[in-house]
Chains A and B, each alone.
Chain A
Amino acid sequence: MSWRRVLVYLTLTAAVAVTLLPYVYLITATVKSPGEIFELPVELLPDAITTEHYVRLFSNELIPFARQVLNSLVIATLTTLLVLATSASVGWGFAKYDFPLRNVLFIVLLATLTLPLQVALVPLFQMMVSLNWLDTFQGVVLPAGASAFGAFFIRQAMLSVPDDMVQAARIDGASEFRIFLTMGVPLVKGALSVLAVLTFLASWNDFLWPSIVLRSAERQTYPVGLANLIGFYNTEYGTLLAGSFLVTVPIIIVFIAGRKHILDNLMLGSIKS
């Protein structure tokens, strides 16, 4: 092995170490006794393992953590399903049909990619108030249901569905919707699964909008709950860290289980400006 390769490995290993170190530190801190977390010299491994932080986290004294994680799960799932449905649908529409407004709408969509949520934040909030959707799940899910990124991503993938197949199915008498459902969708499964993962992740981790819409502890998602915990006294740090660690576990599981699938499809379905 040439010294160049050694250098490459060394650099990468160092980079991974720096990347993973805070995370590993998080994990060990969750099982340290409260005094140990803030003590010199700073050590990675605990002297004795304690589960008190996890117990306290789920004791519902501070925040109803388990409930909040469930809320996050529900909201993320619903959002993902909705985004998949709308993105597949609109991607198909743009990719397979030529209609008068197509170019106009496409450019409008493109333009909105750069628009941040901030531009709509305040009126969206007011809309939630008038609809009486504050503190509800649909207030979080529906506004996130139409993703411009998703639209582009799936459209790109739909473009590769062979037209002659579609044409043949038409001639056979299949309805457009059937063609979409039984031909279009299955053929872009890879892109759809990538979109699903990215959407789920984004929703699972989202903070800004849920913190505005969700008002009571029982309805909030875990990022909002954890952020609220920071407001409590410093002695609650262990609990905060325990919660932080737990919510990253599903992410890791998903990633390890689906790694080839995700990363490869991410590469494939990528970015042509």
Chain B
Amino acid sequence: MATASPRHSRAGGPPRGRRGLTRRQAIGYLGGSAVGALVGGTTLATATACTPPETPTSQGDLNLWTFADTHAGWFMEMAKEFEQETGIKVAVSLIPGSVLFQQLLINLKAGGLNTPDLCDIEQGAFGSFLIGRSVPFVDIGPALREKGYDKQLVAGRQALYSWQGGVYGVEHALTPVTLFYLREPWERAGIDPATLHTWDEFSEAVRETFPPETRALPLPGHDVMLRQRGGDYFDAEGRVTVDSELSIDTMEWLLAQEKNGTFARPPGWITEGLNPAVWAEFRANKIVSLVSPDWYAGTIESQADDLVGKWGACPLPAFEPGGRRASCLGGTGLTILKTSKRQEIAWQFLEFSMLRVPAVIKRYKAINLYPPFIPAWSDPQMHDPIPFFGGQDIGALYAEVGEEVPPQYQSPYRPQLTGQELGPRMLDVYQRKRSAAEVFSEVADAVRARMERGGSVG
């Protein structure tokens, strides 16, 4: 081997023959062993990470993904019972919502890499999975119809997971939106909000009876009010209706109610929703009620537990006499993935946990989501007095307005409309920088353009 020509002399090295380790050598050995450990560990870790991770395939195992810890807890309960009855194990994984849907989408695009058998999909994210020639979820419509479940589930809620004739999920929650009100200030004012049957009556009563700095409630969501009136961002055929007259009129109505003192816009309400500043106003009785879905109770409790027990609930005032007194907001559907190799068993578990009265009641007790499963509504266990509402039988209210809960239609472009087009522009409307008509038609045009662009889309 040819030797290299004379090395550049190293400054500061010890003369040969000196005993003991120089600092350089010590660092050298340390470094060497560190590198050795590194290389060893690296090789080991790499060897295990060179192939995509395996999903458990042991016979009988089911994988269920969810993003809500309340759902996860309840599913694990159900899994235990299911295992006792059938011997099949169900593994429940909790993945944050900000990650779950995107991850699932890309995994499906990659051909079903690391996908679960069952997955909770939030209604707002569901639409994205509908783009394409086929839906990656199993169409459980036929199975539902076969056993008559379709009549037992509130149709309007199932609309959220239906597309072009197929039904792809089962809704967890009815999400009835009613009026939550603080009993005390209303009692002091001498009104029972349940007697105010229309929004006009409500407005008038509030402005006449309450002191001027007090407002009835923070601005309800535009989509919530739109649905109460029977409209929505899309219609049943998937056409964009966010720029309809009804929609624009609803927005203007909201703004007018804010102007005339009925509705409030507390600090941070539009961008964050419920936040400490809002609760401060509640406590000071500057706001006395809230348009709220049932599942908000948990949020309210965690943010302002001193107010627990002080609430009452009643149907929403309607827009016209005899009109709808409830709306809907939110929802999560349990789906079965087409990539699952155990679809039969997955359906068994779905049926077991979501379509039996005892299971549904258990879920209600555990996580306080009023179910869209009608047979459960008449069960006495659904009519316990609820401490949050000062002992009111909330089940009776929800059962009463349950069938009035309006439909909410799904579309492949719903997530893009709400998240990417409408959401960012709403602030301008609320701050009255731009008119609702202008913004809504801009949004509608943008979404229609997306829908109409070429390609074989579903």
Instruction: Classify A-B as touching or not with yes or no (CB < 8 A).
Output: yes
Q: How far does the Cβ of B278 sit from chain A's closest Cβ, in whole Å?
A: 15
Tell me which residues across on chain B come within 8 A of A219, comparing CB atoms. 49, 53
Instruction: Flag if B45 contacts A215 (CB, 8 Å).
Output: no
Residues in B whose Cβ lies below 8 Å from that of A217: 95
CB-defined contacts of B5 to chain A, threshold 8 Å: 165, 168-169
| Chain B contacts for A137, CB-based, 8 A | 46, 49-50
Give A231 to B97 CA distance when docked, in angstroms.
Answer: 7
Chain A nearest CB, measured from B415 CB (Å): 16
**Which B residues between 90 and 128 are near A, CB-CB below 8 angstroms?**
95-99, 103, 106-107, 109-111, 113-114
Q: Which B residues are CB-close (under 8 A) to A215?
A: 103, 106-107, 110, 113-114
Which residues on the A side are within 8 Å of B110 (C-beta)?
128-129, 134, 215
Shortest distance between the CB of B150 and any CB in chain A (Å): 34
Do the beta carbons of A77 and B38 come within 8 Å of each other?
Answer: yes
Query: Does B284 count as interface, using CB distance less than 8 angstroms?
Result: no
Q: Mark A147-168, 1 if CB is under 8 A from B, else 0.
A: 0000000000000000001001
Interface flags, A90-109, vs B, CB<8A=1, else 0? 00000000000000000000
Chain A residues near B98 (CB-CB < 8 A): 228, 230-232
A126 shortest CB reach to chain B, Å: 9
Does B1 belong to the interface (CB within 8 Å)?
A: yes
Contact B1 A135 (CB under 8 A): no
Q: State whether A129 and B109 are in contact (beta carbons under 8 Å apart), knowing that A136-B49, A136-B52 are contacts in the complex.
A: yes
Q: Which of A74, A132, A174 contacts B45 (CB 8 A)?
A: A74
Task: State which residues 302-324 of B face A: CB under 8 Å.
Answer: none
Whether A74 contacts B41 in the complex (CB less than 8 A), given A165-B4, A215-B107, A219-B53, comes out as yes
- On chain B, the residues within 8 Å of A70 by CB distance are 41, 45
Determine whether the beta carbon of A71 is less than 8 Å from that of B45.
Answer: yes
Query: Does B2 count as interface, using CB distance less than 8 angstroms?
Result: yes
Q: Is B51 an interface residue (CB 8 A)?
A: yes
Taken together as a complex, chains A and B put the C-alpha atoms of A219 and B4 apart, in Å, by 44
What total of chain B residues lie within 8 Å of the partner, measured CB to CB? 27
Task: State which size class the interface on A falls in.
Answer: 35 or more
How far is B96's CA from A230's CA once the two chains are assembled, in angstroms?
9
Q: Does chain B have a CB within 8 A of A178? A: yes
Chain B's nearest CB lies how many Å from the CB of A62? 8
Report whether A216 and B49 are in contact in the complex, using a CB–CB cutoff of 8 Å. no
Instruction: Give residues of chain A (198-242) contacting chain B, Cβ–Cβ below 8 Å.
Output: 212, 215-219, 228-232
Q: List residues of chain B with CB within 8 A of the CB of A19.
A: none
Taking the nearest CB of chain B, how far is it from the CB of A31, in angstroms? Answer: 24
B contact residues around A228 at 8 Å (CB): 96, 98-99
B4 touches A182 (CB 8 A): yes
Inter-chain contact A77/B103, CB cutoff 8 Å = no
The proximity string for A residues 65-77 relative to B, scoring 1 for CB distances below 8 Å and 0 otherwise, is 0000011011001
Q: Which residues of chain A are near B33, meaning CB under 8 Å?
A: none
Task: Give A169 to B296 CA distance when docked, in angstroms.
Answer: 79
How far does the alpha carbon of A133 sit from the alpha carbon of B53 in the complex, in Å?
10
Among A128, A133, A178, A229, which residue has its beta carbon within 8 angstroms of that of B1? A178
**Residue in A closest to B104 when the chains form the complex, CB atoms:** A215
B273, chain A: closest CB distance, angstroms: 12
A92 to B109, CA, bound (A): 42
Cβ of B70 within 8 Å of any chain A Cβ, yes or no, is no
How far, in angstroms, from A230 to B97 measured CA to CA in the complex? 11
Residues on A with beta carbons closer than 8 Å to the beta carbon of B113: 134-135, 215
User: Which B residue's beta carbon lies closest to that of A38?
Assistant: B276
Interface mask (B1-21 → A, CB under 8 Å = 1, otherwise 0): 110110000000000000000
Residues of B within 8 A of A129 (CB): 109-111
Please tell me if the beta carbons of A132 and B52 are within 8 angstroms of each other in the complex.
yes
In the assembly, what is the distance between CA of A182 and CA of B1, in Å? 10
Task: Give Cα distance in the complex from A132 to B53, angstroms.
Answer: 11
Q: What's the Cα separation between A128 and B38 when bound, in Å?
A: 27
Distance of A71 Cα from B44 Cα, bound (Å): 11
B348 within 8 A of partner (CB):
no
Report the nearest B residue to A77, measured CB to CB.
Answer: B42
Assess whether A174 is in contact with B2, with CB atoms less than 8 Å apart.
yes
Contact call A138/B50, Cβ cutoff below 8 A: yes
Complex CA–CA separation, A133 to B50 (angstroms): 8
A109-143 with Cβ < 8 A to chain B: 128-129, 132-138
Residues of A contacting B95 in the complex (Cβ-Cβ under 8 angstroms): 217
Query: Known pairs A133-B52, A136-B52, A168-B5. 17 more at Cβ < 8 A?
Result: A70-B41, A71-B45, A73-B38, A74-B45, A129-B110, A129-B111, A132-B51, A134-B52, A134-B107, A136-B50, A137-B50, A165-B4, A215-B103, A216-B53, A219-B53, A228-B96, A231-B96
